[in-house]
């Protein structure tokens, strides 16, 4: 009966979105680190085509907030699901 609950679907969906957002934030964080090591001002390279460090930092911050909200909702829905399934 526990696996037939709609709370399971809500829990899995919200946690998946949260973890996916954190994975994207990890990618943008790595992008920030690689871009910060680039000392050339050339726009011909791949690193030169990336946004500025300020923009990357702002995007990463927003994605982390997005992921935090979704993962928090996932934890709450998991608690509600566990309470309804096992009391």
CB atoms within 10 A of CB 68: 14
Q: Which residue has the higher pLDDT, 48 or 36?
A: 36
Q: How many CA atoms lie within 13 A of 16 on its CB side?
A: 6
Whether the pLDDT of residue 45 is over 80: the answer is no
b/e 11-40 (16+ beta carbons within 10 angstroms → b) = beebbebbeebbebbeebbebbeebeeeee
Going by pLDDT thresholds of 50, 70 and 90, the confidence category of residue 39 is confident
Output the six-digit token pair for 20: 């996916």
Whether the pLDDT of residue 40 is over 80: the answer is no
Mean pLDDT confidence for 62-82? 98
Mean pLDDT confidence for 26-46? 86
Rounded to two decimals, what is the model's pTM?
0.86
Q: Which residue has the higher pLDDT, 47 or 56?
A: 56
């Amino acid at each position: 009966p526990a696996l037939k609950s709609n709370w399971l679907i809500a829990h899995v969906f919200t946690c998946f979105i949260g973890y996916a957002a954190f994975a994207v934030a990890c990618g943008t964080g790595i992008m920030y680190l690689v871009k910060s090591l680039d000392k050339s001002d050339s726009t011909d390279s791949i690193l030169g085509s990336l946004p500025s460090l300020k923009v990357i930092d702002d995007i990463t911050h927003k994605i982390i907030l997005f992921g935090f909200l979704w993962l928090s909702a996932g934890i709450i829905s998991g608690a509600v699901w566990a309470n309804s399934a096992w009391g």
